[in-house]
């Protein structure tokens, strides 16, 4: 038996800052762009993803810290970093990350692409023939839609859309009215492509491209006849994009969100990106217009909107430069019998996406919609994507007269507009649509089918760790469980009543639920392993999820580590727990796996004296998931399926020595590499071989 040493677990040195941890994740994503083991166009995609992630980081996380500073808050988190100090550290690390992004683009990827005859042709390298084509393209495609805006007392600085491409132009001379303010702004409409492919007859290779910004730079003077453009500098502003709706003060959440969405485009500025050749006086002028300081300025050597380079994927057909295509696998029981209801009456089906197909989930709903014996379908929707087969099945069921109830989370960040349209379509088809619970996002992923079979009512359920989104099911790792288990189906039925009606939370027999039972049960399960360790018994916890920030869970893991529990955490993104601290977290290892697919499964394993308990969940170990969201956590009870989850969902990732990064006690990550006598063991690639 081991007694935990008397260590104050509230000491700030035991915690890693959430925002700085998220920046570390973006560094790991960017590192994939440098990995020559990845196909070249996929490396470019990772660069774009790191840029998109950074955009969202500023729009939401940095915006929130800036608001705290503006309000004079000095409240520090568990790490004891005040908002003002945090903002400085974010700026320093984000600037380093941006410099590395453009170094990777200019010094690594652009030359590598050129070696494959995929070129970005700069203005200085245009041939006379190419320059003439560009001039015609500008006159026919750009000139009709560009609106130059001179700056003077009658033309104040324009409203600039969030993340839009703009140019500030310095001018000499006077216009027809005698005005000579010296500055103008040109806004590039979002409808214009940022990357334009040169026609074959004007290109030197099969894939020659010019940037929209280069075309505008070359001909910006044509927008100001009789004046001389002495400089043209691209810029982009990032704005606060978090939406605020006081749900207790509004009568109609949908209409309130519709009104708030338009403000996202013009929220407070949080970052300014400008071309690195922009003169200091012009950059300072822009900072003043957006009420930003020097730390908020990012000067870049290349296009200010790196994520638009993702368009190259659609314009270049080179199978040798992308990941090889694969066909997701199908459980054998479904290959032999396409009647899902009959299959489920004989036992559960577990699906591991994207290695296994998402089609059975769609078929589950399609069959329910077409089956005359199905009486009702209930489902939660968080993100679905455009032209969703899942939504089509629900619409078909509603039009067929079935009772269709859909809980749509209108506040799914950056999908609000799409979800508002989805709610309207379903209501028009006759479905019952609700928006969940006030002040709690409905993040649970569940679908319930009620079917009459002879004289009895039979329920069938799908529970998942990810969204009902067919596209992300091809690029996110997730688990889905299809079951006819009577108790689980009754629990899901109770959850839907809770979401759509009123009343006290009723006791669930197998499912754990946020905000009521999940957090306290996790604490109990961790404490149980600690008791086993103190009694000299084997004790082990393995957990895989996206983020760990919740302090009570971190402290429970610290206490379990002190008791001797072996704890292995597989955390894709944010981790505020500091592993490897003597006397605190000696027995905790944290790793992050970054690869072809975005790791998204949430799996919780407890050794339980040799009788393992395994749970799948929609919830991360964060405050919001435990207390401010409706989440589900469900057991994998079938022994065969449970072993599959342990082997494929956990042990395969713990054995990864190729795409795994191990968190050090100083907050940095070290990438694992196979030793000289080891075979590479990339978990995702091995699962593709085994399941797809």
Q: What angle do CA 448, 451, 457 make, to 5 degrees?
A: 105
DSSP annotation of 548 reads: B
First to last CA, the chain: 46
Q: Which position among 352, 443, 462, 600 bears the catalytic label? A: 443
φ and ψ at residue 578, rounded to 5 degrees: -105, 110
DSSP codes, 139-169? IIIITTT-EEEE-BTTBPPPP--TT--EEEE
DSSP annotation of 47 reads: H
Q: Is the dihedral of CA 472, 473, 479, 480 positive or negative?
A: positive
Specify whether the CB–CB gap between 11 and 76 falls below 8 A: no
Cα–chain-centroid distance for residue 266?
A: 22
Specify whether the CB–CB gap between 667 and 21 falls below 8 A: yes
Give the residue among 412, 370, 361, 368 at the shortest CA–CA distance from 388. Answer: 361
C-alpha span between 291 and 288 (Å, rounded): 5
What count of other Cβ atoms lies within 10 Å of the Cβ of residue 225? 8
DSSP annotation of 265 reads: T
What count of other Cβ atoms lies within 10 Å of the Cβ of residue 637? 16
C-alpha span between 273 and 388 (Å, rounded): 36
217 belongs to the catalytic site: no
C-alpha span between 371 and 194 (Å, rounded): 48
C-alpha span between 495 and 508 (Å, rounded): 9
Tokens 């329910």 locate to 368
DSSP codes, 579-607? TT-TTTSTTEEEEEE-SSSEE---EEEE-
Q: What is the 3-state secondary structure (H, E, C) of 197-226?
A: ECCHHHCCCCEEEEEHHHHHHHHHHHHCCC
Specify whether the CB–CB gap between 237 and 271 falls below 8 A: yes
Q: Residue 400, class by beta-carbon neighbours within 10 Å (0-12 exposed, 13-18 middle, 19+ buried)?
A: middle
DSSP codes, 614-664? EEEES--BSHHHHHSEEEEEEE--SHHHHHHIIIIIIIHHHT--SSEEEEP
DSSP annotation of 508 reads: P
Give the residue among 471, 497, 533, 514 at the shortest CA–CA distance from 615. Answer: 514
Q: Which two tokens stand for residue 241?
A: 């994009």
C-alpha span between 343 and 336 (Å, rounded): 9
Specify whether the CB–CB gap between 18 and 622 falls below 8 A: no
Question: Active-site residues: which are they?
Answer: 443
């Amino acid at each position: 038996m081991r007694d935990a040493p008397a260590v104050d677990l509230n000491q700030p040195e035991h915690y890693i800052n959430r925002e700085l941890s998220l920046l570390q994740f973006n560094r790991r994503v960017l590192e994939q762009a440098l990995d020559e083991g990845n196909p070249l166009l996929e490396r470019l995609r990772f660069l774009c993803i790191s840029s998109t992630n950074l955009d969202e980081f500023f729009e939401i996380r940095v915006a929130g810290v800036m608001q705290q500073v503006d309000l004079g808050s000095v409240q520090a988190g568990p790490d004891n970093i005040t908002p003002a100090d945090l903002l400085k550290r974010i700026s320093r690390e984000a600037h380093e990350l941006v410099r590395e992004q453009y170094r990777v683009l200019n010094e690594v990827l652009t030359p590598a692409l050129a070696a494959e005859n995929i070129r970005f042709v700069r203005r200085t390298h245009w041939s006379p023939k190419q320059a003439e084509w560009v001039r015609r393209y500008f006159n026919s495609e750009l000139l009709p839609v560009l609106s130059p805006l001179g700056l003077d007392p009658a033309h104040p600085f324009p409203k600039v859309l969030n993340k839009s491409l703009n140019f500030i132009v310095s001018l000499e001379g006077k216009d027809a009215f005698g005005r000579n303010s010296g500055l103008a702004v040109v806004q590039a409409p979002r409808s214009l492509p940022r990357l334009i492919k040169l026609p074959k007859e004007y290109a030197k290779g099969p894939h020659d491209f010019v940037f929209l910004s280069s075309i505008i730079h070359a001909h910006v003077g044509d927008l100001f006849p009789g004046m001389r453009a002495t400089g043209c500098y691209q810029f982009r502003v990032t704005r606060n994009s978090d939406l605020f709706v006081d749900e207790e003060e509004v009568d109609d959440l949908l209409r309130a969100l519709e009104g708030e969405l338009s403000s996202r485009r013009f929220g407070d500025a949080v970052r300014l990106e400008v071309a690195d050749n922009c003169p200091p006086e012009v950059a300072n002028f822009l900072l003043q217009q957006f009420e930003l300081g020097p730390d908020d300025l990012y000067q870049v050597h290349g296009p200010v909107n790196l994520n638009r380079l993702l368009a190259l994927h659609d314009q270049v057909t080179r199978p040798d430069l992308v990941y090889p295509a694969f066909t997701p696998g199908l459980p054998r029981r479904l290959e032999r019998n396409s009647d899902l209801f009959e299959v489920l009456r004989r036992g559960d089906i577990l699906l591991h996406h994207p290695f296994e197909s998402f089609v059975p989930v769609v078929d589950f709903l399609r069959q329910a919609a077409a089956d005359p014996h199905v009486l009702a379908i209930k489902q939660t929707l968080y993100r679905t994507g455009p032209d969703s087969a899942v939504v089509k099945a629900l619409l078909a069921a509603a039009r067929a007269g079935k009772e269709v109830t859909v809980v749509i989370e209108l506040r799914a960040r950056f999908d609000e507009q799409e979800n508002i349209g989805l709610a309207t379509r379903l209501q028009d088809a006759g479905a019952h649509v609700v928006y969940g619970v006030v002040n709690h996002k409905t993040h649970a992923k569940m679908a319930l089918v009620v079917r009459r079979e002879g004289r009895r009512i039979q329920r069938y359920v799908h529970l998942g760790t990810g969204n009902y989104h067919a596209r992300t099911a091809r690029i996110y790792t997730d688990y889905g469980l299809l079951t006819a288990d009577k108790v689980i189906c009754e629990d899901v039925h109770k959850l839907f009543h809770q979401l759509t009606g009123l009343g006290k939370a009723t006791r669930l027999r197998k499912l754990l639920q946020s905000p009521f039972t999940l957090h306290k049960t996790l604490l109990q399960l961790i404490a149980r392993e600690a008791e086993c360790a103190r009694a000299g018994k084997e004790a082990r916890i393995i957990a895989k999820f996206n983020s760990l920030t919740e302090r009570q869970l971190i402290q429970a893991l610290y206490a379990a580590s002190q008791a001797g529990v072996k704890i292995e955490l597989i955390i894709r993104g944010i981790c505020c727990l500091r592993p490897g601290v003597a006397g605190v977290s000696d027995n905790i290892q944290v790793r992050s796996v970054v690869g072809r697919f975005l790791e998204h499964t949430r799996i919780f394993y407890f050794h339980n004296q040799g009788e393992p308990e395994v749970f799948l969940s929609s919830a991360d170990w964060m405050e919001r998931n435990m207390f401010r969201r409706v989440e589900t956590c469900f057991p994998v009870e079938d022994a065969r399926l449970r072993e599959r989850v342990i082997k494929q969902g956990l042990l395969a990732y713990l054995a990864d020595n190729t795409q795994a990064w191990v968190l050090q006690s100083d907050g940095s990550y070290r990438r694992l590499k196979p030793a000289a006598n080891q075979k590479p063991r990339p978990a995702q690639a091995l699962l593709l071989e085994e399941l797809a």
